[in-house]
């Protein structure tokens, strides 16, 4: 069935079929002013089927797919927007929103490819925390489940940098005390144990400060040992001189 009109300047034809409708010209729903758009809607619109395909539907290379999904499984409201280069679901990216509770910080937005596993997605929470490959940032602003690479990482510490080790007031533990502590605890004092690292991880800023403190203390131990070594060498030299004099006297007495 064809519905439309024809004039000197404009042709508008609507072809209505069993499953499809074809409109040549602009269509306004609830408005006479389409603004030059092929479709203009004044009011609410409801679409019961997806996806939308924008572009040349006869050529997937030049078409864009757009879909909206809703899921209420596991008592969570989950809404997805899929978008991709063609009508294939598996060529689509996906943005999702999950409503966990009325506490905004518990709700999150996900970003990934359709069909990706949970550990391959981004999770942005209402409190501003971001999880990469994990949806459990554990209160951190950025949590990454997997290796990272960066050209530069700067850690700005609020605590004191351990140059106080070189202060005259700082007392180094005796090596005997240090040996006893290591034998008893199997790690250096002021450093986390293997079990603590396994359970709690490592704070890079604090760990670098703790390592620097140990390096500075070790440097002081080496300086002290070097002084003692020089003193021993001097004593040995003096003893050698005395022995040589005694040997010379014995030779003269013969």
**248 shares a domain with 169:** yes
Q: Name the residue range of residue 244's domain.
A: 162-253
What angle is formed at CA 83 by the lines to CA 81 and CA 85, rounded to 5 degrees?
170
**61 shares a domain with 131:** yes
Which tens digits make up the pLDDT trace of 173-188? 999 999 999 999 999 9
Which tens digits make up the pLDDT trace of 3-44? 444 444 454 555 555 666 677 778 888 888 888 888 888 988
| Residue 51 domain-assigned (yes or no) | yes
| Residue 155 domain-assigned (yes or no) | no
The per-residue pLDDT string of the chain (254 residues; one tens digit each, 9 = 90 and over) reads 444 444 444 545 555 556 666 777 788 888 888 888 888 889 887 766 655 655 555 555 555 666 666 666 655 566 777 777 655 556 677 888 887 777 777 788 888 887 677 767 899 998 999 999 888 888 889 999 988 898 998 888 878 889 999 998 999 999 999 999 999 999 999 999 999 999 988 888 899 999 999 999 999 999 999 999 999 999 999 999 888 888 888 887 76
Q: Which of 114, 149, 184 is the last residue of a domain?
A: 149
- Cα dist. 114→75, 80, 86, 136, 229 in Å? 22, 10, 13, 21, 69
**228 shares a domain with 178:** yes
The candidate with the shortest Cα–Cα distance to 196, out of 186, 205, 209, is 186
**What total number of domains does the chain contain?**
3
Q: Are strands 21-24 and 142-144 parallel, antiparallel or unpaired?
A: unpaired
| Residue 56 domain-assigned (yes or no) | yes
* Neighbouring C-beta atoms of residue 110, cutoff 10 Å: 19
| Residue 178 domain-assigned (yes or no) | yes
H helix and E strand count, the chain: 3, 13
Is the alpha carbon torsion for 48, 51, 57, 62 positive or negative? positive
Q: Which of 84, 118, 149 is the last residue of a domain?
A: 149
């Amino acid at each position: 069935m064809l519905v439309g009109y024809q004039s000197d300047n404009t042709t508008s034809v609507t072809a209505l079929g069993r499953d499809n409708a074809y409109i040549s010209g602009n269509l306004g729903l609830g408005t006479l002013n389409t603004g030059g758009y092929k479709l203009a809607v004044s009011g609410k619109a409801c679409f019961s089927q997806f996806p939308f395909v924008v572009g040349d539907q006869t050529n997937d290379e030049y078409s864009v797919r757009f879909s909206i999904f809703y899921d209420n499984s596991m008592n969570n409201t989950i809404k997805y927007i899929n978008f991709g280069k063609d009508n294939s679901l598996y060529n689509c990216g996906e943005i999702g929103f999950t409503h966990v509770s009325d506490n905004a910080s518990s709700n999150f937005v996900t970003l990934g490819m359709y069909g990706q596993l949970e550990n391959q997605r981004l999770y942005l929470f209402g409190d501003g925390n971001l999880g990469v490959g994990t949806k459990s940032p554990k209160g951190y602003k950025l949590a990454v489940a997997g290796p990272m690479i960066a050209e530069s990482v700067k850690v700005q510490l609020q605590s004191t940098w351990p140059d106080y080790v070189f202060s005259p007031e700082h007392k180094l533990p005796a090596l005997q005390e240090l040996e006893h502590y290591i034998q008893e605890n199997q790690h250096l004092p002021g450093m986390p144990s293997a079990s603590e690292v396994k359970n709690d991880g490592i704070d890079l800023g604090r760990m670098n400060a703790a390592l620097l403190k140990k390096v500075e203390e070790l440097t002081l131990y080496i300086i002290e040992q070097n002084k003692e070594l020089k003193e021993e060498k001097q004593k040995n030299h003096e003893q050698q001189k005395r022995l040589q004099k005694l040997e010379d006297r014995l030779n003269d007495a013969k």
